[in-house]
Structure 1
Amino acid sequence: MPHPSFSLTERFLALDSALERHRPFWQGMPFDFADLPWRNTYPELCDWLDEQTLASLASLKASPEQLTTIVQQWLHDAESLLELCHVKESHHADLYCDPHWSTGIPGRKWSQIAAFNASMPKANGKHWLEWCAGKGYLGRVLSVSRESNVTSLEWQEALCRDGQQYAEKHDLSMQFVQGDAFAAESQRLVDDCDHAVALHACGDLHVTLLKHSVAAEHLSGPSTVTVSPCCYHLIQDKRYQPLSTVAKSSNLSLSKHDLKLPLQETVTAGQTVQNKRYVEVTFRLGFDSLQREMAGSTAYLPVPNVQKSLLNEGFEAFCYWAAEQKGLVLPSDTDFAAYQALGEARFLLVEKMETLRTLFRRPLEMWLVLDRALYLTDNGFDVDVSTFCERALTPRNLLIHATRIQR
């Protein structure tokens, strides 16, 4: 585990160097490849991957620690890469919130909210801003457990209406504001709060909150910001725009596809979901093998989202649908069984590559979270990065807690 004096900047730089060094293992799209791209540079690693079954690969993807132990013999810094991602679990407040307040909240979400609430110091502001609030489930808990005023910003009017009705029915000090988090007017809400929070606000939404918090006047803006990021790929720019000074100096250039890597977590995916994914991906890869041969191409051809009911009609029906979407005419003598078999073989190849990519899922997420944390330190905040719950409850369990340094 990293030395206690390991600063956020040192951790970021170490992760940045490792991600740059191992870029071929995690950057790029596995669907593009017909074989493991490291066959010549890491032949023994590829031999080991070739021995794996779909079941063993799934087991390794679900256990990065076990995978790291095995792969360490070829990627000698794999263990240190994993260690760079270890942070303490945050638990400050012994705040009991009666389950009565969980009405309408799914059990897993309620547990996440309770853990998020307990991760913050008990005395930490009287006027809270709940960013991207939905129906205000988190704000409900903040209002009750901390006896605080809560403003809940939400884009969808129906959710605001439902949340406000619940708050008024139960005499909670909550005020919903229907509005666009990206609009300039949202800055005023940040200026007026003591503590701004966002639990799993997506991509540019939580980044906007951080930027508003930095832009706020020191005397009127939030003294504290607590954010658990999510969906890093939901950004308005084509590529990731670093926030912090140190990240802006990085050689890494991240596409939206790269930013999806941290989200490829399967701890909550049931067997039915996994089975449906297998069918859809093998169909897509089988059709791609067919179109490559038709066009003499080596490039993957993406097709639009498909109605899941079409998958029940079989591979041939999928191919005719996909061909229609792409303006292709399939040969009348197409051997659909052969191309379906190719799709299944390529699925195994994709899983081999995805298994190696697993090693870099958390490091890339930590890189992104540290960029946000260092952006806040660049702008006068004292920042702590921790986890607020176990990975089994939600893989998106990293927490940025920032307190404005008084000048």
Structure 2
Amino acid sequence: DEATCANASWMYITWTCDMAPRLTDSAASRMLVAVLPADRYIVDPDTGINLTLQSAFMHIANSFNQLTRQGVKVADPTTDAVAVLDVRAYVTGFRGDWKALKQTFNFTRYADQDSVCWMCHATKGAANLQDAYTNISPTAPWMSTIGATLPWRLTPAYASLLGFNPGFIQPDLLHIWHLGTGRDLIGSALVYMVKSNLCFAGSIQDERLENATASLKSYAKRMRLPLKLKKLSKSKLNWRARCMPELRSSGYDTFVVGRWLADEVVPNHHTVLPQNLCIALWTSDRVLSIMANGGRWLTRDQQHEKERLGGLFMRSYVLLAKQSISEKTRLYRMRPKLHILHHILMFAPPSRLNNHMYATWMDEDFLRKAMKVHRNTDPRKASLRVIQRYLLGLPKTWQDICKRHHSMRE
């Protein structure tokens, strides 16, 4: 993922061991591989391929392949250094925001093109509306193209990894929902509720927003959910003329506000709110709960419930958009992220892999911690110094985790 430091963008490349015991501790589970300044990128003007990143990824892939073939012998110092483990690495998945994945895998199908999806041939409908990603019918033409062709013309460096499969490329639920479609739905729902005077007391819109804020904060405190959002205001909802509503919040705040709407507002006002709006808010919260509380692989029942509720969400979301068009009102954007969300909700490999495991919550947290070190580093030497300082602090990080673990057991 890219992060900004001192008005400059830097690409942070990390890896995580799926077998790590502390996956929810970003400092201990995220291993920093490289830090690259974005202003030094060399991009091919004809293909748009980031040659700098592809060169770095080729070296990383070669190193992983060596670890896969040869492994690392781990010795026990108490038994005359006899090897007791043969550790080997196998890459099983890639995660990152959509922009980072595009640069990593040379996608030719992307949000800024008519063909938007690396997993199928869905489009924006420029040539044929039947191929549009807003066509969510079970017989939509794009559904038969899932995995049919590779999403690149020039093979990316990571394709040289032993056992590589395009199915390893996972969409990021954080950026797709919590920083994307979820903010659109929740912002639009709040604007509708306040404007129509259906849910919150107050004679004018500002008073209703104040009462909505009080209700939200009370709910968050009662449920012990951290909330950074200070208040619901027109600016926070992007409530302006000729603009689509959108909740301008952090990813976690999107979750908290969505849970509040589904748990408290919708049950108390479902008789006066549009049915499809209630369905969209409730099903989205329920699906997120299934994924967040599920293991690495969902059970058959969890997968079935996710697909059933995901189908209800997609239908209600699209119907709300169609209704707003017919009524000539502004509701929310039908972003290409909605289509990626459709894949997350409705499809899964035979293993029933839980996509929530590939959300980048902890990666973003690791970036925030790394930025504290980066800001105190000379930009001219940051690519090396940040990694050196990270490695120096890693043993203490693991020691602290072990101490906390032992104290909890006692």
Bin the TM-score by the shorter chain: under 0.3
Tell me the TM-score normalised to structure 2 length. Answer: 0.27
Tell me the TM-score normalised to structure 1 length. Answer: 0.27
Bigger share in helix: 2
Structure number with greater CO (CA < 8 Å, separation at least 6) is 1
